[in-house]
Amino acid sequence: MNDAMTVEMNASDEEQVKSARSETILYVDGVSVTFDGFRALNNLSFYVEPGELRAIIGPNGAGKTTMMDIITGKTRPDTGDVLFKSEIDLTKMDEAEIANLGIGRKFQKPTVFESHTVFDNLLLAASGGRGVFQALFHRLSDAEKIKIEKTLVTIMLEDKRDEMAANLSHGQKQWLEIGMLLMQEPELLLVDEPVAGMTDSETEETAKLLRSISKEYSVVVVEHDMEFVRDLDCKVTVLHEGSVLAEGRLDHVQKDPRVIEVYLGR
Amino acid sequence: MTDYRQKYQMTPVVGWLLNDRGGMILLGILIAASILVPASNLLLPESSAFHVPTWMISLLGKYLCYALLALSVDLIWGFCGILSLGHGAFFALGGYAMGMYLMRQIGDRGVYGDPVLPDFMVFLNWQELPWYWYGFDMFWFAIVMAMFVPGLLAFVFGFLAFRSRVTGVYLSIITQAMTYALLLAFFRNDMGFGGNNGLTDFKDLLGYSLQSDGTRAGLFVASCVFLGICYVVARGITQSRLGKVLIAIRDAESRVRFTGYRVEYYKLFVFTVSAVMAGIAGALYVPQVGIINPGEFAPALSIEIVIWVAVGGRGTLYGAVLGAFIVNYAKTFFTGAMPDFWLFFLGGLFIAVTLFLPKGVIGAIPAFGAADRQSIITTWRKRLAERRANEGGKA
Ligand SMILES: Nc1ncnc2c1ncn2[C@@H]1O[C@H](COP(=O)(O)OP(=O)(O)OP(=O)(O)O)[C@@H](O)[C@H]1O
Ligand SMILES: [Mg+2]
């Protein structure tokens, strides 16, 4: 009888896991990665629901960027599963494939195409044919133009459309990069430290921008700035030494003594 | 300024040609030269002040081939950041393909009088033509090979290198290794390409004597035409969305990957196109200089090409053409007047350009300061407007 019960329990457990998975846009489970003997990620697990806005915080070197490297195919995990939309295994794919699945990524250091105009930066990011010959014979369509103009408004750069990206301020480059993600029409956006180097008003604008973006897409934001994370008003995951330390509302995790010890208390 | 792109929206090709001042000048010069130079050589008496002597036609034709080679390097280096230090290899392979055709054209007029075998094979006691010499008695086949062989080598080499994500200095080093390996291979007699001496003593091309003025003028015109065609093709590539992707790769390769482009395919495409252009340059070069030998594979020569591009101005295409002419004219001058100083001069020139003219000679000419042109105009307008406003305020 005991045995039967265990079996039953296992089955229901599995079902639970399955149903948890079927509701996720991003499923990271038991991921570890080691660089020259240093464990950057240690049995990391977390799940993001479709349409969710999630903030990830953690001290320097906690493994936040490494986590994004794993999700976007830049780094391969030693162990663990990374699933997109509950079924697509991301650990076997390369950067371009993952991007084309609908995962956009903003880098920690803002990275735009400096010798292209703002307009061309957005054009290059626009979803659509990525093939060599498609690109060779591509002609700008009206639909693309309209989409670019819309994005220019969203990222507050409409008067900079013909400016070289190299001439933008640091904050504007961050916005342009976010705009490039939007042009890709991704389902999931990974945004690494979007407000680093921004003024206070820019930071506020960015929080607003990300909140409005999260109405349409699932968004994961990595950030240090607590004010900003508070503005985002969403579930927070705290990383420490490559694994999840706490998860919940910001007020909640801020009260967690372990979190205070490793991060907020310093 | 009229934006021709707006005006000729239905015909983008016309648009991007008209918007390209340097390119228009280059094409204009090429068209004029391909008519006037042969005409003056063939029609005017030698005593005339406007007579262009045949040796000068050959010299200019040679420069045109170098210019095409420089253009091919600028296409990958200036626009995609691929610094190839082995492009001389593609040039030489194109040259060998043409050389093989010219050897077969000699027929039984060689020293040994063998109707099929080139002299060096008779000398080596070979009994029959190696299989890879078959077909080279046909001109069209040699031309196809002059493009296909460099293209294939670039494709295979690029596939391996770009797929493994070899970039920067490492890529430059392996391109040097590639051309060096070919240098050693072509030196060997048993390769069947004439070893140390290479291929020479050519007689005629398509039945026309290579020594005649008419043939020389014809080769000169062909060089102008191919440089013009390749310029238009290269310009078309760089103006397309593909060209924008290439520049994006040059600026931020990983951003391009995370945007969903397969960077390796883009590099492979442009690297192969560039190698084909270098092959064409080599094929045009060989009949004009009358010889092709393994020396063309020398790593130092490939480095020199990069200097031409840097001197002229990287990333403009026409700058590369100008650079090839400037440096090679200087080389002709120095090797005649002060041969010992040539390498010092070349080294000094490279350092000077890197330090003082990072955008090359073209970048130093205000009208061509390319990207800055627009901003110069806007600054001027602003200043004018300010001045007017000030004057208005006073009055
Ligand atoms: N490619 C790599 N090789 C070796 N070590 C690495 C590599 N990438 C990351 N690390 C190490 O892994 C740890 C986690 O780095 P990561 O960049 O993910 O931290 P982070 O949480 O993003 O920090 P920050 O807030 O400073 O951006 C760091 O100690 C870092 O030095
Ligand atoms: Mg980081």
pLDDT tens digits in sequence order for chain A, 266 residues long: 444 444 444 545 555 555 555 688 999 999 999 999 899 999 999 999 998 999 999 888 889 999 999 999 999 999 999 999 888 999 999 999 999 999 999 998 889 999 999 999 999 998 888 899 988 888 888 888 999 999 999 999 999 989 999 999 988 999 999 999 999 999 999 999 988 888 888 888 898 888 888 888 999 999 888 888 888 889 999 999 999 988 999 888 888 888 888 765 55
| The predicted structure's pLDDT at residue B29 | 95
Ligand nearest the Cα of residue A60 is: 1
The count of other CB atoms within 10 Å of the CB of residue A148 is 21
Cα A193 to ligand 2 centre (Å) = 7
| The predicted structure's pLDDT at residue B227 | 97
Beta bridge partners of A236: A55, A248
Note whether A136 contacts B237, CB cutoff 8 Å: yes
Answer whether A60 contacts ligand 1 (Cβ < 6 A): yes
Kindly give the number of the ligand 1 atom that is closest to the alpha carbon of A61.
Answer: 19
DSSP states of B23-71 as a string? HHHHHHHHHHHHHHHHHHHHHS-TTSTT---HHHHHHHHHHHHHHHHHH
Query: First CA to last CA across chain A, in angstroms?
Result: 53
Cα separation of B391 and B395, whole Å?
6
B28-84 tens-digit pLDDT: 999 999 999 999 888 888 888 888 888 899 999 999 999 999 999 999 999 999 999
Residue B220's pLDDT band, with cuts at 50, 70 and 90, is very high
Residues 6+ apart with CB under 8 A from B155: B268, B271, B272
| The predicted structure's pLDDT at residue A1 | 41
State the CATH number of the domain containing residue B153: 1.10.3470
H or E segment at B256? helix B253-258
Total beta-carbon pairs less than 8 A apart between chain A and chain B: 77
| The predicted structure's pLDDT at residue A252 | 87
| The predicted structure's pLDDT at residue B232 | 94
**Contact (CB, 8 A) for B219 and B284:** yes
In the numeric block, the tokens 């016309």 are attached to B14
Residue B134's pLDDT band, with cuts at 50, 70 and 90, is very high
**Contact (CB, 8 A) for A229 and A55:** yes
Distance to chain A for B267, nearest Cα, Å:
10
pTM for the full model? 0.88
Distance to chain A for B282, nearest Cα, Å:
27
Answer whether A65 contacts ligand 1 (Cβ < 6 A): yes
Cα A24 to ligand 2 centre (Å) = 24
Q: Indicate if the pLDDT at residue B392 is higher than 70.
A: no
Single-letter amino acid, residue B317: L
Nearest to B374 by CA among A153, A117, A173, A139: A117
* Backbone φ, ψ for residue B210 (5° rounding): -70, -15
Distance to chain A for B74, nearest Cα, Å:
17
Note whether B258 contacts A124, CB cutoff 8 Å: no
Mean confidence (pLDDT) of chain B:
88
Convert A105-133 to b/e letters by CB count within 10 Å (16 or more is b). bbbeebbbbbbbbbbbbbbbbbbbebebe
ipTM for the complex? Answer: 0.86
Q: Indicate if the pLDDT at residue B363 is higher than 80.
A: yes
Kindly give the number of the ligand 1 atom that is closest to the alpha carbon of A68.
Answer: 18
Cα B277 to ligand 1 centre (Å) = 44
Answer whether A242 contacts ligand 1 (Cβ < 6 A): no
Is the dihedral angle over the CA atoms B146, B151, B152, B153 positive or is it negative? positive
* Backbone φ, ψ for residue B80 (5° rounding): -130, 0
**Contact (CB, 8 A) for A232 and A207:** yes
* Backbone φ, ψ for residue A179 (5° rounding): -60, -40
Percent over 90 (pLDDT), chain B: 61
Single-letter amino acid, residue A75: T
Note whether B247 contacts A116, CB cutoff 8 Å: yes
CA angle B320, B322, B324 (to 5 degrees): 70
Q: Indicate if the pLDDT at residue B174 is higher than 70.
A: yes
Nearest to A256 by CA among A236, A242, A241, A232: A236
Pairing of strands A243-248, A235-240: antiparallel
Domain that residue B327 falls in: 4-394
Nearest to B277 by CA among B304, B300, B305: B305
Is the dihedral angle over the CA atoms A119, A125, A130, A132 positive or is it negative? positive
The neighbourhood of ligand 2, an ion, using CB within 5 A, equals A 64-65, 108
User: How many DSSP H helices and E strands does chain A contain?
Assistant: 11, 10
- Of B112 and A220, the structure prediction assigns the larger pLDDT to A220
Q: Does B258 touch chain A (CB under 8 A)?
A: yes
Nearest Cβ partner for A115 among B251, B261, B262: B251
| The predicted structure's pLDDT at residue B119 | 87
Nearest Cβ partner for A96 among B244, B251, B261: B261
Residues of A in contact with B249 (CB under 8 A): none
* Structural domain total, chain B: 1
Kindly give the number of the ligand 1 atom that is closest to the alpha carbon of A224.
Answer: 25
Kindly give the number of the ligand 1 atom that is closest to the alpha carbon of A36.
Answer: 4
Residues of A in contact with B256 (CB under 8 A): 124
Tokens linked to B69:
């080679």
